[in-house]
Amino acid sequence: MGSLEEWLRQTVTKTKSQTEEPMAQEVGNWVEIRLFISSTFVDTQAERDVLVKRVIPSINRKMADRFIRIVPVDLRWGVLAEESKDCHTIQKTCLNQVDKCRLTPQQTPWFLGLRTSRYGWVQNDMMPSHGFENPDLFKWIDEFASSGRTGVSITSLECIHAVQNPSKMLSSPTVFFYQRNIDEGPLEEQYIEKNMRWVFDFEYKEADEEIPEDSKYQYSKTEEALKFSNDLTNLNKYLQDIPHVKWNEFEVGYEHGGAKFTCKREGAKSFGVGYTSSLEAFEDQVEKDLIEAIQENFKSDSSSINDFQMETVQHENAIRLKASTFVGRTALVEDCTVHCETSVDDRNVMILHGEPGCGKSGLLAAVTHGVTKPSRESGNFVFIHVVDSCPGSNVLEQMLRRLQWALRDFRRSNGEINISSDPPQSASDLRAEHHNFLTATAEKYPNKRFLIVVDAVNQFHEGMKAWDMWWLPRKETTSNVRCMISTLNKENGTFDNAQEACPDAVLTPVLQMSDDDLEGMVSATLARFNKKLTTYDDSLLGNQMEVLLSKSASPLYLIACCEALRKFGIFERVSQYIKDFPTTITELFSFLLDDWSKEYGKMFVEDVAGLICCSKDGLLENEINDLLAFKEERDRGDEEYLYDSSFSRIYDSLASFLAAGGGGYLRFFHDQLKYTVKDKFLNDEFALETNQWLSDFFFSCTESQLCEEPEEDPAAYYEHVLQQLVYHQLKATPKSDKLTALDSTLRNIYFVRERILYRQTQDLMDEYELAIKRCSKNHVNLEISTALTQWMKFVQMYAAKIEEFPQFARNMAVTQAPTSWVTKDTNKLDTPPSKVGYPLIWENIPAGEDTMVCKYTSGGMDVAASTPSGDVVAIAAGDEALILDQSSGEIQHRLKTSSYSVALSPDYERVYSGGSDGISVWDVGTGSKIAETGEDFKMDDVVVWIQHIGSFIATGTGHARKAICWDGHNTSGGISLFPVDHSDILVPSKKWDVGAPCYDYCYLSCREWIFAANKGELRGFGLGGDEVIKLTGAGRCCYAVASHPTEPTILSGSNDLVIREWNVDSQTLVRTITDTTSSGWAFGGNWSVNYDPTGCYVLSTEPQSQSLRLYTFEGNLVDEMKGHADCINKIKIVPGTQQALTTDRGGVTLLFNIPNPEDGVPKAGQDIDEKVFWTGFSKDGNFLFTISNEAIRKWNAKSLELLISKEFDGFYRTKGFLTCDEKWVYGSGRVGVTRFSFEDLSVGGYLEVLPDADGSLSDFSVTSDGSKLLGAECKNMNSESSYAFVYDISDFDAAEEINKYDKYGGRMFACDTHSDNMRGVVSGHKGTHVFTLTTCEVLFSIPRGCFWVCFLELSNRLAYSDGDSVYVCDVESGEDVLKLEGHNEEVHGGALVRGETEMYTSSADGTVKLFDLEKEECIYTFFNHRAQQYTKVGASPCGEKVAVGNANGMLYVLKSGNYQ
């Protein structure tokens, strides 16, 4: 008959196979590899545990991003009695399972055989091939039986079946064998106990062989023992030689007690198990082999999908996985399905809610899985988000960004190719656009359904106020938007907040499942791992299912039990293990913690559980591993290691108790589990130590990055580290101690930079608030509280620029006020080396405190604020209203409504907006509209004033442009009172006509009168509509009116720049204050006035200075707060503070601290505080010249001492010019040029060059020999007839026009002359033209250009600005040779330094940049929050000093830290 080996070679592996290419895997579709583990059971407990508990979980985590996972087929238990009662049934059970481990029938299975000394259950009767599920794969077994062969073990049959030649051969073997050798030590020691050697021995003995008395029942005597032994040896030889099999040998040890009885019987066979030791090499080899096979056999190209698509795949896979074990609850499934698939009513939102573990997520998953495919096939939109299903999924911002992307992708796929596929980048813009974009999309596709499903909303991180549930569809959202969410009843308030945000939501409680459904769920869960529980009274095992279900009806509890059971390996003890389970999820967790403490070590389990429990919002697995290693390194000293610090060995045991299976960030799925850990392990001391451990570790991960130029890459989880560090610094500091730990984080510019770069600005702002609140409770931290408040202000105003220019973050920090903690803290850090030309130090930085607290990147007609604790700002921006976070400046909601006035309700929960359509009321939290005026409400103007007064909303109407249109405005204003009630439609209870055009209103609470400001007078009305007072003599037109906080007085501001205070009781003018502005325009004057919060000082603004001015009642200017670059429309006081809000027509709102004049605060910007239009340096850099609207001045450039000042009537287009011989300084007025002596600024003559009143002189230049002057004109009305002119000024007093260039055809803003004294250039709306000065012949023209142009003398090139870029072209050909980019608004000026190798540029974007002309790159950017639009820039030739004017009325003198 021959040996088994010979027969196998001739029969089983005789056919040839065709080699296959690696299998293509569709990105995102999970590949589930079922790995059959074959061995005898009693002697391989340790090996199987290593495979099931360590190797496979480790591989699955490593392969998760490739969507590949291994499911072990481990039949140690779970094979029911009827499935193993005889040879046929056990063959059918085991060999069919082997076939289920083939990905296709033509391939080899994924099979792992452990070859030991034991043989296994001998099969004396063979099941014919037709008895198996795939008969074609069992032809060999028919041949085996017909050859007369019997007596082969079931383990051998598994191996033989696995290795038969497939018809399709994979790229790399999927069948693995590992032959074990046990190192028993020296013969005289023999580690394995004599009475337990049977566990590891070959179990068959010859009939006449002697067996020790204590083991005689543990061996089987048979005359075929030698045959079985030979078959075992021959099969191993055969397996080693098969090409498509991977064979390895491994060595293990044995420790005393490793073999033990599980069921000991007298006079009969007992049961037991054996555990080997030292399996590390085996573990590493198996993991290496399996990963290699996976990588070789599967190919996946993830480059074809973007990050959003990859995230989407992970969320939808999570839904499929959860749905796979869901059973029952038919009625609930039907109700939820109807909600998702129909639009029968306007109840857009369904809330699935219940207690922990009730099965909400399973229900949601089953419904979602059922409706997704048919919905999408019908062209509908489906968005799925499962919190904690993948890294970052618990961040609302990330979900909203992906939702935006998905909506845009949907619209683009429906033909809207012009819509951007990119969602808003900032959290603020994302939040502001969320509702509007969703609603607009749904309205555009009314016949499509938009289904949004979010599971476990209570597990969101609290950032972006996720728990407020503002992001749910609003009440006004169209009914084709359907939303289904799940949440716990209590955690984080999400259930209550969701009901408040969506009062009409469909509430669906998820209650207890039926016993049949629970049994089905348990069976389905265990079936995934080839496990089964008995469902009848088995004589040996009992009714395992009944016992388990009697413990708890919680689906989550039962799933956790299934997870624990699938890793339990001892068949005889399964029933007892189930009986030992406690009856609640928390008790089960405690029970398992004890189990794990025995298995993994108590200290290890305490540390792991403590880390997860104390973590802010979860830890990544590799973070935990590194944390454990960090502690090992820190605490062990010269001692042995504390423990095996590999988290992977406990991960699989913990996984079912972690949120959504872990989802990247591992944290306990419910607070009750944290309480269990705290009660069991975490006393106050251990909690403090653990937080300190986390804090120290996270800081060690950031330390190398907290410098000017980090030299090493950060940790892979660096982004998460940044989010955790401050939290643990606060937790690790006892409440009575000083918070000095924050010096390295919240008071470190580099840490701030890193947080901003990783888009964590809002989290950072929240941490400042938390730390400040903590400081306020301890007097030792008062100074730290002040410092943190200043840092918080800095972050709010600089975050956008730091994100844009992170390399200059430090320079931004040191340009704060000298007294600022931001400056002082940053100066304590190591000073980085300076580079040539930068950094630039703000040399004339104002000495006083910086009064600007916050800058909001939105502005408009009106503004309103809550107290700081309410944290709300509302802005009326004309075509919309905005709700912002007061402290951070983040836009919370954009309200799509016409808005020219805003107010807040007394509880700050509602925003009132007035506009061209009447008024509307909005919820602050959700941004949803609560009420509005109906179609019957009519008015001729817009609502320019709105205020909550008692039980009324009071409004006043006026012209939309307020002061700018007063001269031709004749429509009478009107006042209306609307009752504050709960109706959707607002109807005025009282309405009356003022009797004159109105521009502003106020309410004097001490008299209950409403005042209206109109042309030259103020009219007061009682709340009944009767006119009670008229005050005349308020100027030609009264722009503004404001009431005293307590006294019966009001202020008015008029076009005549006189602020008037009136006593309304005596109807007299109390005092006047003349504004300091000396010049204005047709609509100049005091556009807004107000009292300071104390009522002791006056606040005003006018459009020329664009500043907030503080006056005493005597008319003395106390302070001037700058920062606006456009006309301020409104001044409002922040309730409960000494702060004022100002909003301008250019889109900026500022929050100022109002200085207390009694403190003697130096006036801001006192060194050079005026609107400078031009700056220039002498060649040696010793002198600085400036020209403003008032004077020309000469300064000592080193000390900034003012040397000479002469009056000069400049205007906003004034320019200057310093002649090459440094004899003269020229300055231009509206129509002419004045010449001043370089030495003493004495006037050396005046030349009128533009007699035409329509035009103005926009720029001029003098040739290097001083003989000619080139000027450029900008006409206001007839812009196409603007021209350039050339004057002969060799005799300045007898200067005459010698040429005119009138072919330009548009407004010109810049000009220059070449050093050859023969060529000139102009630039403006019609591009850049180069021509001869003698004939005005055009040499070449460029279609680009505008505000600045300059010849480069040394390189014979021409530089000119065009929009936000600067171009340099060849002067001879006109061809561009380089382009300088980096600004994002108009470039207004440039200055060449260091031999024309570098160029400073100034821009309306509020930055000054330094460009390297040789490298064609920006090498430095200067930004300061007080600056708005920079005008002209001048620089000393060596680059030591830079002077640049700003629209905010300040001159910035910047000194280079290193110059040549």
Asked whether the predicted pLDDT for residue 16 surpasses 70, the reply is: no
Work out the angle between the directed axes of helices 225-240 and 154-163 (0-180°, nearest 10).
Answer: 20
Q: Given this model, what pLDDT does residue 857 score? A: 84
Residues in CB range of 1088: below 8 A, 6 or more apart = 1000, 1039, 1040, 1042, 1053, 1100, 1101, 1128, 1129, 1130, 1131, 1142
Classify strands 1224-1228 and 1319-1324 as parallel, antiparallel or unpaired: unpaired
Burial class (CB in 10 A: 0-12, 13-18, 19+), 222: middle
pLDDT at 808 over 60: yes
One-letter amino acid for residue 66 of the chain:
R
Is the pLDDT score of 1214 beyond 70? Answer: yes
Residue 13: what pLDDT? 61
- Does 1460 have pLDDT greater than 70? no
Q: In sequence order, which residues have a C-beta less than 8 Å from that of residue 211 and are 6 or more positions away?
A: 205, 219, 221
Edge-to-edge strand ranges of the sheet holding 1349-1352: 1349-1352, 1357-1362, 1365-1370, 1376-1380
- Dump pLDDT digits (tens) for 443-465: 999 999 999 999 999 988 887 88
Give the pLDDT mean for 757-769.
90
- Model confidence at 261: pLDDT above 90: no
Distance separating alpha carbons of residues 157 and 138, to the nearest angstrom: 11
Residue 125 has pLDDT above 70, yes or no: yes
Span of 299-313, 323-337, 602-616, 1126-1140 with lowest mean pLDDT: 299-313
Supply 947's token pair: 């205020």
Contact 975, 1010 (CB under 8 A): yes
In this prediction, residue 37 has a pLDDT band, given cuts at 50, 70 and 90, of very high
Instruction: Compute CA distances 1356 → 464, 1310, 1317, 1352, whole Å.
Output: 55, 19, 13, 6
Q: What would the DSSP string read from start to end of 887-920?
A: TT--EEEEE-S-BSEEEE-TTSSEEEEEETTEEE
The mean pLDDT value for 1054-1067 works out to: 93
Kindly tell me if the per-residue pLDDT of 218 is higher than 70: yes
pLDDT for the residue 684? 86
CA atoms of 886 and 884, how far apart (whole Å): 6
pLDDT tops 50 at residue 1234: yes
Distance of CA 1119 to the CA centre of its chain: 39
Is the pLDDT at 828 greater than 90, yes or no? yes
Tens-place pLDDT, residues 892-904? 899 999 999 999 9
What's the CA gap between 546 and 519, in Å, rounded?
Answer: 9
- Specify whether the CB–CB gap between 742 and 726 falls below 8 A: yes
Q: How far apart are CA 498 and CA 347, in angstroms?
A: 13
Residues 74-89: tens digit of each pLDDT: 876 545 555 556 888 8
* Cis? peptide before 839, omega within 30° of 0: yes
**Torsion angle of the four alpha carbons 650, 651, 655, 660, in this order, in degrees rounded to the nearest 10:** 160
913 vs 817 pLDDT, higher one: 913
CB count, 10 Å around CB of 1126?
A: 16
More confident residue, 1082 or 1422: 1422
Q: What is the DSSP letter of 52?
A: I
- Give the residues across from 1110 on adjacent strands: 1099, 1119
- Please tell me whether residue 850 adopts helix, strand or coil conformation: coil
Q: How many CB atoms lie within 10 A of CB 823?
A: 17
Distance between alpha carbon 331 and the CA centroid of its chain, in Å? 39
Nearest one of 419, 315, 307, 429 to 372, comparing CA atoms: 315
pLDDT over 80 (residue 150): no
Give me the residue label for tokens 């591993």.
625
This prediction's pTM:
0.76
Residues 6+ apart with CB under 8 A from 27: 67, 300, 301, 302, 304, 305, 310, 313
State the residue for tokens 């002791």: 1096
| Statement: residue 1 has pLDDT above 60 | no
Percent of the chain with pLDDT over 70: 93
Neighbours of 631 (CB within 10 A): 19
Q: List beta partners, residue 133.
A: none
Task: Give the residue-averaged pLDDT of 604-616.
Answer: 90
Q: Which two tokens stand for residue 1113?
A: 């009642």
Tokens matching residue 761? 């600005």
- Residue 34 burial (CB count, 10 A): 21
- Take residue 671 and report the two structure tokens written for it: 């607070």
Residue 1320 three-state SS: strand
Distance CA 1015, CA 1008 (A): 23
Averaged pLDDT, 32-43: 89
Q: How far apart are CA 624 and CA 645, in angstroms?
A: 9
Model pLDDT, residue 395: 86
Question: Is the distance from CB of 825 to CB of 743 less than 8 angstroms?
Answer: yes
CA 1118, CA 1128: separation in Å to the nearest integer? Answer: 19
Q: pLDDT for 864-873, tens place per residue? A: 999 988 889 9
Q: Is 637 left (phi over 0), alpha (psi -120 to 50) or beta?
A: left
What is the helix (H) or strand (E) element at residue 40, kind and residue range? none
The per-residue pLDDT for 921 is 95
Best CA proximity match to 861, nearest among 660, 1069, 1009, 1000? 1000
Q: Give CA–CA dist 1390/1366, Å, rounded.
A: 9
Tokens of 99: 């076939």
State the residue for tokens 């836009």. 891
Q: What pairs with residue 1109 in β-bridges? A: 1100, 1120
| 3-state secondary structure (DSSP) of residue 180 | strand
120-134, 656-670, 870-884, 1419-1433: which range is least confident on average?
A: 656-670
Looking at the predicted structure, is the pLDDT value of residue 73 above 90? no
Helices 585-600, 671-680: axis angle to 10 degrees equals: 50
Residue 655 scores a pLDDT above 80: no
Binning pLDDT at 50, 70 and 90, where does residue 991 land? very high
**Helices 4-11 and 225-240 sit at what angle, rounded to 10 degrees?**
40
Q: Which range has the worst mean pLDDT, 915-919, 1074-1078, 1236-1240? A: 1074-1078
Which DSSP string do the residues of 739-782 spell out, in sequence order? -GGGGGTTT-HHHHHHHHHTT-HHHHHHHHHHHHHHHTT-GGGH
Instruction: Give the pLDDT mean for 12-38.
Output: 73
Instruction: Determine the average pLDDT of the residues in 386-405.
Output: 87
> Rounded CA gap, 1011 and 1029, in Å?
9
In this structure, the strands spanning 1038-1043 and 1216-1218 are unpaired
DSSP state of 715: P
Cα gap 840→1436, rounded to integer Å: 13
The pLDDT of residue 448 is 93
How many angstroms separate the CA atoms of 750 and 713, rounded?
Answer: 15
**Distance (Å) of CA 1249 to CA 152, 1246, 1297:** 115, 10, 8
Chain segment 329-384, per-residue pLDDT in tens: 888 999 999 999 987 777 899 999 988 778 888 899 999 999 999 999 999 999 99
Mean residue pLDDT of the chain comes to 88
Average pLDDT of the residues in 380-391? 88
Q: Is residue 1091's pLDDT more than 60?
A: yes
Q: How far apart are CA 880 and CA 929, in angstroms?
A: 13
- Helix-, strand-, coil-residue percentages of the chain, each rounded to 5: 30, 30, 40
pLDDT above 90 (res 1001): yes
Mean of the pLDDT values across residues 1396-1422?
Answer: 93
Q: Does residue 639 register a pLDDT over 70? A: no
- Provide the pLDDT for residue 1216: 95
pLDDT-derived band at 304, boundaries 50, 70, 90: low
- Name which residue leads in pLDDT, 491 or 186: 491
For residue 1240, pLDDT beyond 70: yes
Distance, CA of 254 to CA of 839 (rounded, Å): 68
- Residues 1145-1177: pLDDT tens digits? 888 999 999 988 876 544 433 345 678 899 999
100 pLDDT above the threshold of 90: no
**Nearest Cα residue to 874 out of 847, 909, 849:** 909
Looking at per-residue pLDDT, the higher value among 600 and 627 belongs to: 627
Paired tokens of 1337: 């012949």
Is pLDDT at 589 greater than 70 in this prediction? yes
